[in-house]
């Protein structure tokens, strides 16, 4: 716990580029849903690295898998076969729609790979000129230049123009606008089943099936970005399972290795076949260390009633937030979400809530200025949720 007497925040400001608006706390260690700062203060973590540490901090089996693999083989080139990568791929394929997987290091890289594969597959099958991808307004797909161009939020574009050609953005949930955007140049539709960074935005239950049908009618690929909502976050292993459809491609990252950098692009065999040796690659992607951790994560999610418990806890948490909304209608506009990705839309700015809850010992997140987003570890308990709800109630009650 002793982090010495150094002023870590001043050193960070001096040596690290200022790309993050950080909260004034230096976190040293964690266990389960709890993290501890350099002064030993404990916080309940309802951010979990933004939907990353789904099994909680310092999960003993993940830690043991990393320790064991680190003493055996950390990294070799993807020019060679490695067992942890193959075992993880087999598990992902057995429990999803997909036939093959490409491993990388992050969600942005996974989406970048999906964009490239969509273009390559379309060119292989239909010839030149069919490369455009339709995306949704309010979406977030990453911060590389291609994924930034796919992202449907102008605030992330500013200062980086000109963006890449080949992306159209249509209003989220508007099937008519999507139909009108399809041309002879369109090769795919890329969307999140739930927009996380966009403010925990859910669509009507018939929207995703309608988009699937639209793709089938026009020979387009459906790419689902499940970087934030996949791997059990919504109470099923993958979010698409809620809607009775299957995508052609799906991207994963965040919770895949419970905090170690790993991303994945999953695809149907016919589509995956357009990636051949030399067309795409990653030096570190899917190395033995991260794949050993991810295999433990995936096996844990699939064990017993883990996912059904996640759904039950999610309903309990959502009901608690809805009760809060009923008590404070002048402050809270809406509660939304699925499983353990939940949003509380405020009628006021949310920054003060984040700061005040931090002082009370809770890590929460605000997106879009007024939407409190909760993505705790999937192991969060009702007792821990009650503590947060009590703190939120106090925060609302003390407001003028």
Check 254, 275, 317, 318 and give the catalytic one.
Answer: 254
d(CA 362, CA 364): 6
Cα separation values, 82 from 113, 292, 293, Å: 21, 11, 14
Burial (CB count within 10 angstroms: exposed 0-12, middle 13-18, buried 19+), residue 214:
middle
d(CA 219, CA 121): 12
Rounded to the nearest angstrom, the gap between the alpha carbon of residue 265 and the centroid of all alpha carbons in its chain is 13
Q: Edge-to-edge strands of the sheet including 371-374?
A: 332-338, 341-346, 371-374, 365-367
Beta bridge partners of 132: 186
Burial (CB count within 10 angstroms: exposed 0-12, middle 13-18, buried 19+), residue 204:
exposed
Check 46, 102, 103, 140 and give the catalytic one.
Answer: 140
Annotated catalytic, 333?
A: no
Cβ proximity of 235 and 309 under 8 Å: no
Annotated catalytic, 254?
A: yes
Annotated catalytic, 353?
A: no
Cβ proximity of 198 and 138 under 8 Å: yes
Check 37, 97, 167, 225 and give the catalytic one.
Answer: 225
d(CA 316, CA 320): 6
Task: Write out the catalytic residue numbers.
Answer: 140, 225, 254
């Amino acid at each position: 716990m002793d982090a010495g007497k150094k002023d870590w925040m001043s050193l960070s400001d001096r040596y690290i580029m200022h790309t993050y608006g950080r909260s004034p706390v230096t976190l040293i260690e964690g266990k389960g849903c709890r993290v501890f700062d350099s002064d030993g203060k404990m916080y309940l973590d309802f951010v979990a690295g933004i939907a990353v540490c789904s099994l909680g901090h310092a999960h003993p089996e993940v830690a043991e898998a990393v320790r064991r693999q680190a003493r055996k083989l950390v990294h070799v080139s993807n020019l060679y076969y490695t067992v942890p990568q193959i075992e993880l791929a087999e598990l992902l394929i057995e429990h999803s729609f997909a036939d093959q997987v490409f491993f990388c290091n992050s969600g942005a890289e996974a989406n970048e790979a999906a964009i490239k594969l969509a273009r390559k597959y379309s060119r292989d099958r239909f010839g030149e000129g069919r490369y455009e991808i339709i995306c949704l307004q309010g979406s977030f797909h990453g911060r590389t230049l291609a994924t930034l161009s796919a992202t449907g939020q102008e605030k992330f574009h500013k200062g980086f123009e000109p963006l890449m050609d080949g992306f159209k953005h249509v209003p989220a949930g508007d099937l008519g606008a999507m139909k009108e955007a399809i041309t002879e140049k369109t090769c795919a539709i890329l969307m999140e089943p739930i927009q996380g960074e966009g403010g925990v935005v859910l669509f009507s239950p018939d929207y995703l099936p309608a988009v699937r049908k639209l793709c089938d009618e026009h020979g387009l690929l459906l790419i689902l970005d499940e970087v934030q909502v996949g791997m059990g976050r919504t109470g099923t292993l993958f979010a698409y399972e809620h809607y009775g459809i299957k995508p052609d491609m799906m991207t994963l990252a965040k919770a895949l290795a419970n905090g170690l950098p790993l991303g994945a692009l999953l695809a149907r065999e016919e589509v995956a076949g357009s990636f051949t040796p030399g067309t795409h690659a990653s030096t570190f992607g899917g190395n033995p260390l991260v794949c050993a951790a991810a295999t433990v994560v995936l096996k844990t999610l699939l064990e017993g009633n883990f996912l059904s418990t996640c759904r039950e806890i999610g309903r309990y948490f959502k009901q608690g937030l809805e009760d809060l909304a009923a008590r404070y209608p002048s402050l809270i506009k809406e509660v939304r979400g699925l499983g353990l990705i939940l949003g509380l839309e405020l009628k006021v700015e949310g920054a003060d809530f984040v700061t005040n809850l931090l002082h009370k010992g809770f890590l929460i997140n605000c997106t879009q200025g007024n939407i409190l987003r909760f993505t705790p570890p999937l192991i969060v308990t009702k007792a821990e949720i009650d503590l947060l709800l009590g703190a939120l109630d106090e925060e609302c009650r003390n407001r003028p």
